[in-house]
Structure 1
Amino acid sequence: MSSYRDIAQQIAKIIISPDSVFGFWNGVLSVPTDIGYLAYGFIDTDSRSIRETERIRMMTAIRYGLLKNHNFTKTIEIVFESFNKYVAEEKQNSIYSKTGFSIAGRATTNSLISARLAQTVAQSGGARVRLRGGIIGNLLLAGGMAERSIYTSQKLKAYAPEVYNALRARNYDLLYFFLEPALQPFVEALHVKWTNGAPAFNQIISDD
């Protein structure tokens, strides 16, 4: 896990300048990484039944439009909402006053930042998703990408259960691996709160 100061700096950078994360997604759709997850899935017999159930859930969710752009934006918004619940209003005002969206109010600002981040995904690593268009659903279901999505979801469940539960309600936990490079600092901060308490979380927030 990153240091408290590193987490704070990453959070501030993403909120103040969503476009700054443009280069984070180089490995999101990495074929070698997907192959690694696929290989691990073959030898991980202990969780095979769970992963089969998750694949069925994934297949159903994709059929009902999980991969539509607005769902990526909503995934980001939910993580932001989980984070903001523990940030005092005065501190939120201080953070958002540094953005170009602050005049819109905090709730609208969250939505605007989320939309900007989702657009960044589409323009960087996610561009490959866009270019592959109609076959991305098949890729997600057929190979290592599916394993990666499921394993990342399970890791999130153990690491940040509140975030996982909020995303899981709409199957957005299956999209988390696409967005992890930008959302990880917020999830790390919440993990610190749940493991080390509110004072440790507040230390991160005060370091921005």
Structure 2
Amino acid sequence: MESPIVVRSRGHLPHWERDLGTYFVTFRLFDSLPAEILAKMKSEGESLLANARQLGRELTASEHHHLASLPEHYLDAGSGACWLNRPEIAGLVSRALQYFDPARYELHAWCVMPNHVHVAFTPTPPSQLFDIVHSWKSFTAHRSNLLLHRTGEFWQREYYDHLIRNQGDLARVVKYIMDNPTNAGLSNWPWISAKDEQSVR
């Protein structure tokens, strides 16, 4: 029997967690979605909702998908400073992701894009989702700022996570991660990896 899902909130976004759960996590650089882009996304969402209400209907599945894909669309467009485009920074983040695999978590797939990171992984008890992501972000922010000779914010405080439900869901997530560089127009992108065999506990 599966353990119950717990919804936690540590900011604006809810986080769905389960004991022995497998997760798809995305975290991004703090400047990767500037205020004008966030405003544009909000305006587009409000426009779609207003149009649906005027027609007396709910949003269609394609409209829901369009709104859900907007952040990734703008991230892949390369907004912000894109520090992860620098090999020394991307390499640092890549090594940090792999460092505690499998002691604290099992990595299924990961990709370091120019301004955001995708990871599919299963925490190894007693390690927890929040602690793992916090460790990645805290360590890499400090080291990256040293390499960049700067101070201040590096990662956006919030992160997005999706609780992976089954093998099919994991396969879809891994494909999405592995296809991300190509879909963003990045050829022969080196900062990416996936295990040959995927499993959900």
TM-score, reference length from structure 2: 0.25
**More helix, by proportion:** 1
**More strand, by proportion:** 2
Query: Taking CA–CA contacts closer than 8 Å with sequence separation of 6 or more, which of the two structures ends up with the larger relative contact order?
Result: 1
